[in-house]
Structure 1
């Protein structure tokens, strides 16, 4: 895997001060895909220097309703409102529409409601992401898909990947201004994937036992008995891996399931190779301490 070329990082600009009451945080009950388009919309607004009063005079929505929209409260907004707001904020409409539409479906909005709310506000499909965004996507997309398919089925995996790059398109300037674009992008992928991943007993432990059916070790075995014991061992390993801290889990998924070299993992996650080796070492030590040795087969019994 080649290292993506890092574009020059623009200097960070402090958010401008604006008169009036400070905008409240996003409401706790906002869904993950709704949040995915709402956060960059809020960020762009907060960095624009524009006020709710200014926007309310140009967007067909009262100031109080705009505040609700930017906090994710009240009714799910119609696309014509979001498009009008994004135009004022000079945001790309196509990735915003993709995420808005999916969040509408997850909010139990019908296809008829979606069509009616957007019939007066068409969005062009000819928009393309920035050139460096497209180059970055070509570099990492295959590896991102490998990671996502450990936790999600094919449909959910493809949706998570599409969402990830739509979010990055909306937040690309923020990604470029971050300490490391690759790390920003990986965190975006991870957040998107984990929002769709079932978790064990409602705790922050991802469920990914299905990945045991597609491990490198299993693909190299032919005998049914060997495959049975390897499957049991893999399921035990994955259950223990779900208890690892986030970075250690990601490193072990990429290193153990796909045999990606430490340098490749370092490039993909945007962290130093020493951190990758340390994470793998600590993760291996933990797993050795909690995993029981596999039962001996009859042929191996002393």
Structure 2
């Protein structure tokens, strides 16, 4: 009889402790790429906002910040469980979300802002996409699969037909934005074009030999989300308080930036140890084309277009299908 009661007690103890073990809270690893497009994360890090919102929930959160270049490496790290939350353009997020449906169920956490990306060239005779040829090499962070390549594929399909949407993939080269900017502005290398992002595109345009061919806003029909944060369903579900603290930190960072853009520019330089002049960074942060917001904008354009091209297998009903519910209260698109 005593053994029976002891066994029942141990069984009850096990039932009580197992869910707690499965929801081990208080740690988060976050990976970002290069550029001012990650300003919201720079402010989160600078102001220790995750830690702040964790304490509000009774948690001491340990935050591990990483820097990774390119969507392919981001997705590999996420699916391997090496990183909890990664960041990349909307198309790479949609691709990994589509491919993990019914398994890891990757979804977006929040947008990181709407920023135009410019396709630049240093060849005077190249005025439009029609002028690009095998003489050119287009630098992008992740050739064929990243934000810039997918955006270019959408426009290419419109200009040359859906069967030829990968036309420019064969002349694209994977190169981090900082290296691509140097190659484009110095000249003398195989890189003659760069699908860039802030602040690198503005640096490059200070060179008289560099000019803009097209903007991502032109392709998408207006202001559109550049980068997003995304995670697996497992991390989201097993760490509800840590996740909530993270999301609240992002929301506060947006408010901080909009309240004082000059201070936000200083935070960028501080966190990045950037050598860029403060006035230059401030002009970018204050650019009316740019909106540092966690609300997704025009992400569904990508979902529809990439599904039509066969890149995405599953058709999303709305933008909320590929964002976790915490973001659903925003007026997203």
- TM-score normalized by the length of structure 2: 0.23
Pick the structure with more strand per residue. 2
Instruction: Flag the structure with more relative contact order, 1 or 2, with Cα contacts below 8 A and sequence separation at least 6.
Output: 2
Pick the structure with more helix per residue. 1
- TM-score normalized by the length of structure 1: 0.25
